[in-house]
Amino acid sequence: MKTSPSANELLEWYDRHARDLPWRVSPEDRRLGVVPDPYHVWLSEIMLQQTTVAAVKDYYIKFLSLWPRVEDLAAAPEEDVMKAWAGLGYYSRARNLKRCAETVADLHEGRFPETVSGLQALPGIGPYTAAAIAAIAFDQPAAVVDGNVERVMTRLYEITTPLPEAKPEIKAVMAALTPEARPGDFAQAVMDLGATLCTPKRPACSLCPWMAGCAARASGLAETLPRKAPKKTKPTRTGAAFVALRASDKAVMLRRRPPKGLLGGMSEVPGTEWTVEADEATFVHSAPLQDIGATLDWRPVTGVVRHTFTHFHLELTIFRAMVPDNAGLPENCWWSPPQDLPDEALPTVMRKAIDAAF
DNA sequence: GACCCGTGGTC
DNA sequence: TGACCAAGGGT
């Protein structure tokens, strides 16, 4: 008769195999009494939402360097936060990060709430992040469920109900398994297990501390779980982007996108809407640069810029033109010299567009 | 529940 | 190349 999985089995594995991460207090240090900084835990958890550890590391270091305390982040101009976040994606996270910092600094005297419900009331903090902060920063036995936990639990208990229908059951089994002692380490242990051994493809079951009690390992279904509803295919949208270069120094004309929606609050080069059907002739005549006091000679750049967003593919045709230094600037636009471009709040797709024009 | 919201790595 | 995936949240 096989033993049912226990938290201790996994915690012992975690004590030996925990990943060394910039925002993590190692199990050894925890035993020595080192306490995680809730600000660090929160910042890392927001950055890690739907984002890989490798992509987050440098941003996390940079943010802590720029804003060591939550009060510093609360006092920072939103524009600076968007610039520092540029390239990480899901930009509403950055806006909510700033709003959350302001709330904590102003309404909570710089301290994060210590309960799941109190945390989840803050902007950008949902069920997962609230549970993660409560467990990791405040030692509360909250059931932390992310994509890793979903994968591990559906396999461990052979839950064949497809996601997201299976979420309540997953939450329940995770809650039953979460120990009163070391709940934060336990949550991180399950996530480490999912990230390193219980992977989506070709899981390393032979190395797993829970192998003996894993139902999907026994039945051979491990690699087929969790089950998910099929995803829709992404449509392709097209548009044009106009890279205006100031003659003397090749500064690029930029403008701000609207505060909400796709790439909200980020900077961009002027361009057309990204409609499903649009032709190149329309693009040229729709150039929003008619009022700068000069006739511009827009030349198409060879090769189209391709970029994929969450729910559509984009094909951007790039046009470039040199602009006399004495020309005017359209409303809400500014010139950004080449040496300033790295610090602008430019999303990746816009950096691709600008690169294509140089 | 459905849809929106980025990016880079992997197979 | 394309689909999938990654410490999800807001509406």
Strands A313-323 and A236-246: parallel
The reply to whether A261 has its C-beta less than 7 Å from any atom of strand B is yes
Question: What is the DSSP-derived secondary structure letter of residue A143?
Answer: -
Q: Which residues 59-78 in chain A have a CB closer than 7 A to strand B?
A: none
Tell me what pLDDT residue A217 has: 95
- Residue A283 banded pLDDT, cuts 50, 70, 90: low
CATH superfamily label, A7-224: Hypothetical protein; domain 2 (1.10.340.30)
- Residue A205 banded pLDDT, cuts 50, 70, 90: very high
- Is-same-fold flag (A7-224; A236-357)? no
The reply to whether A272 has its C-beta less than 7 Å from any atom of strand C is no
Tell me how far the alpha carbon of residue A21 is from its chain's centroid. Answer: 17
Average the pLDDT over A272-287 and give the result.
70
The reply to whether A186 has its C-beta less than 7 Å from any atom of strand C is no
Return the exposure string of A324-341: e unless at least 16 CB atoms fall within 10 Å of the residue's CB, then b. Answer: eeebebeeebebbeeeeb
Average the pLDDT over A183-193 and give the result.
97
Check if the beta carbon of residue A78 is closer than 8 Å to that of residue A98. yes
Provide the positions of strand B that have an atom within 7 A of a protein CB.
1-9, 11
Q: Domain A236-357 belongs to what architecture? A: Alpha-Beta Complex (3.90)
The string of pLDDT tens digits covering residues A45-56 is 999 999 999 999
Q: Name the residue among A340, A305, A341 with its Cα closest to residue A320.
A: A305
Check if the beta carbon of residue A244 is closer than 8 Å to that of residue A323. yes
pLDDT at residue A1 tops 60: no
The reply to whether A54 has its C-beta less than 7 Å from any atom of strand B is yes
Tell me what pLDDT residue A135 has: 98
C-alpha A208/C-alpha A193 separation (Å) is: 8
C-alpha A357/C-alpha A318 separation (Å) is: 7
- Show me where the domains of chain A are located: 7-224, 236-357
Active-site residue numbers of A?
45
C-alpha A221/C-alpha A300 separation (Å) is: 52
Tell me what pLDDT residue A286 has: 58
C-alpha A58/C-alpha A69 separation (Å) is: 18
- Residue A176 banded pLDDT, cuts 50, 70, 90: very high
